[in-house]
Amino acid sequence: MSRFDITATNAALRRLVEATTNPRHRYLLRACDRLRLLEIAGRWEDIFASSMTVAHPVYHFHGLGQVTVLDGRDAVQTAYKEWAADGQSIVYTEDERLAVGDHLVCSTATLHRQTPGEALVDLGIYADPDATYLVNTVEHLTWTFDDEGRLMHEDAWEIDESTREFLKIDPSEVLTSETAALLLDPFIAPLPTRPF
């Protein structure tokens, strides 16, 4: 049995929501909670509701020796679809620290991303292509929002390569997006009424 609980992935984020009194900041934190859970559950189409994401989002990822820019809705949707299909949307967090401002939510955490060995091999990383791994990295993430509280940018940086680990996981611990959705659906709340 895994030591990770997918339903606890946003625990630190939810604690910050409870401790936050600024209505705009609470809204952005709840939007991040919804966004991350939708990603993990493979419900990526819901992320692109006009109330949640701008028409032209841009994502930047710096990790595993790669720099990736997803420029525009089509690019971001294609990535989400691929991650949901091969299980890379499954992410667990540990030791997450967060901050929120009027247009930005920042997170530093140890992330454990479920990744097929074949995807690692494609990046030039030695791995069993038939296995599934947890890729463990320390990352800094930012989510940037517009004046209406809609996601504009998601940016992620692997900040300490020396802590990177590739742990082969037992097939019984591998989650599909469908299984994650069943576990997370009770936690995925609709966006609250925008208070600004």
Residue 193 resides in a domain:
no
Residue 29 resides in a domain:
yes
Q: How far is CA 69 from CA 25, 141, 153, 159, 180, in A?
A: 27, 14, 11, 17, 26
Query: Rounded to the nearest 10 degrees, what angle do helices 23-40 and 11-19 cross at?
Result: 170
Range of the domain at 117: 6-177
For residue 1, pLDDT over 70 is answered with: no
Residue 142 resides in a domain:
yes
Total structural domains within the chain: 1
Residue 183 resides in a domain:
no
pLDDT digits (tens, 9 = 90+) for 56-89: 999 999 999 899 999 999 999 999 999 999 999 9
How far apart (Å, rounded) are the C-alpha atoms in residues 31 and 175?
Answer: 24
Residue 53 resides in a domain:
yes
The pLDDT assigned to 3 comes to: 67
Residue 65 resides in a domain:
yes
Neighbours of 70 (CB within 10 A): 18
Residue 182 resides in a domain:
no
The pLDDT assigned to 4 comes to: 83
Question: Which CATH number do you get for residue 133?
Answer: 3.10.450.50
135 neighbors 112 (Cβ within 8 angstroms): yes
Neighbours of 17 (CB within 10 A): 19
9 neighbors 38 (Cβ within 8 angstroms): no
Query: Rounded to the nearest 10 degrees, what angle do helices 23-40 and 177-184 cross at?
Result: 140
Residue 39 resides in a domain:
yes
